[in-house]
Structure 1
Amino acid sequence: MSEPSPVIADTGSLRDLYGEPGETAARKIQDRLDAHCRRFIALSPFLTIASTSETGTDCSPRGDAPGFVHVVDDKTLMLPDRRGNNILDTLQNVLARPEVGLLFFVPGLNETLRVNGRARIVTDPAVLQSMAIKGTIVPSSAMEIAVDQVYFHCGRSILRADLWNPGKKVGRDAFPTLGVVLADQIAGVDAGATDKRLEAAYTTNLY
């Protein structure tokens, strides 16, 4: 890879380029969940969670009905781990390094909520049962997240993307199905059979 020039390599040069943050932006970082944070999390059906380990960094989506992340108290969140692909990138990273970063979204709202903290994997039956779907579909585990930093992020990125505009939704024919993508990327994968398995998983095996 060719080296671009010039390259910013120190904090001083970075600040010379961007300047200092405004007073409100610099002071908005809190160390606990207030009523506004709790309400936003209760409305949120989707988040991304970033984690890291000695082998790399991962950012993974998590989604469910609004309020699927439980606020235990003003310093603690509980994130259920629903059925997935069992690669377990995030969970394995947490075992190595507990630091995580979460970004909460609420459809229709331009602001997002950022939470930085430390996670551990819990399997307490009572905790898992409290996050069961229809009272019977219990998550295999949950991440208990100790909140270190929490703050709202302004809506400029969402507005620039026009993310919530229904007219900007991409049609299904604009991009190949995942089965086609995997067949192109992995030798021996059958696109049609893969798409059928995925459709079954999406419709009858979501949890």
Structure 2
Amino acid sequence: MTSRFAQLAFTPGVQAHQREHGSDRAYRRMLDAPASADRLGADERRFIQDRDSFYLASVGETGWPYIQHRGGPRGFLRVLDDHTIGFADFRGNRQYISVGNLDHDDRVALFLMDYAHQVRMKILGRARVVEGNRDLAVEGYPAKVERTMLIEVEAFDWNCHQHIPQLWHVDDVERATEALRDRVATLERENAKLRGAA
């Protein structure tokens, strides 16, 4: 966990629970570090740009959090510099809840998952919508781009893998089993020939 993430997430109420349950000493030094935004390094860049989906949380005018799934081809979420990520916002169900929430509160949280390797990354940032912008469109992807969303990263955290189910993307399973399926097909043809010769 980065110091900046702890500074934003460990509110007085959170710290009270940490004291009550004995974890406050482990995190205390993070709160005393300088309050500067985290910089995305090489590991963060690779992880972010390899995702084909993530979850985006925003806060509504009623104070209720709202979480929405965003998906696209691998690499649609891009790292633009050490502090900025962005993506083409594809047309979905046209409820516009996230976009509407950002009109009054630009704070967002992103939850990025790699289920196959049981890794997750959380990002806190401030989002800005650029309506009608197609700068981050993905060539060859058929979805309609309605806008670009840019996020200034304030903090990120790599979480422990505990309790993450190990799941694989269907494309990865297809690639991993292709040779096995080819071998089975070959054996079935050979078997059919042997049966025909008998």
Q: Distance in 2 between matches of 1:35 and 1:24?
A: 27
Aligned residues: 153
- Report the TM-score, using the length of structure 1 for normalisation: 0.64
| RMSD, aligned CA | 3.0
Larger radius of gyration: 2
**Amino acid of the residue matched to residue 42 of structure 1?**
Q
Matched, 1:38 2:45: yes
What percent identity do the matched residue pairs reach?
25
- Following TM superposition, by how much is the alpha carbon of 1:109 offset from its aligned partner in structure 2, in angstroms? 1.6
Q: Which residue of 1 aligns with 2:65?
A: 57
Deviations 1:95-114 (A, max 9, x none): 11000000111241211111
Contact 1:51 1:99 in 2 (8 A): yes
Q: Structure 1 144/10 Cα, relative in aligned 2: closer, same or farther at 3 Å?
A: closer
Deviations 1:18-65 (A, max 9, x none): 4226369949x9711110000001211121111002222201111111
1:19 aligns with 2:8: no
Q: Any stretches of 5+ residues in structure 1 without a counterpart?
A: 1-8, 167-207
Partner of 1:142: 148
- Check whether the contact 1:129–1:138 (CA below 8 A) recurs between aligned residues: no
Query: SS of the residue aligned with 1:37?
Result: helix
State yes or no: 1:47 paired with 2:47.
no
Shift of 1:10: 7.4
- 8 Å CA contact 1:100–1:119 kept in 2: the answer is yes
Question: Mapping of 1:44-193 within 5 angstroms?
Answer: 44-55=51-62, 56-123=64-131, 125=133, 128-134=134-140, 137-158=143-164, 162-164=165-167
Q: Measure, in 1, the Cα distance between the counterparts of 2:151 and 2:14.
A: 32
- Structure 1 residue ranges (4+ consecutive) displaced by more than 6 angstroms after TM superposition: none
CA deviations on 1:134-178 (whole Å, 9 max, x unpaired) are: 1775511021100100121111130xxx34279xxxxxxxxxxxx
C-alpha contact 1:41 1:104 (8 A) present in aligned 2: yes
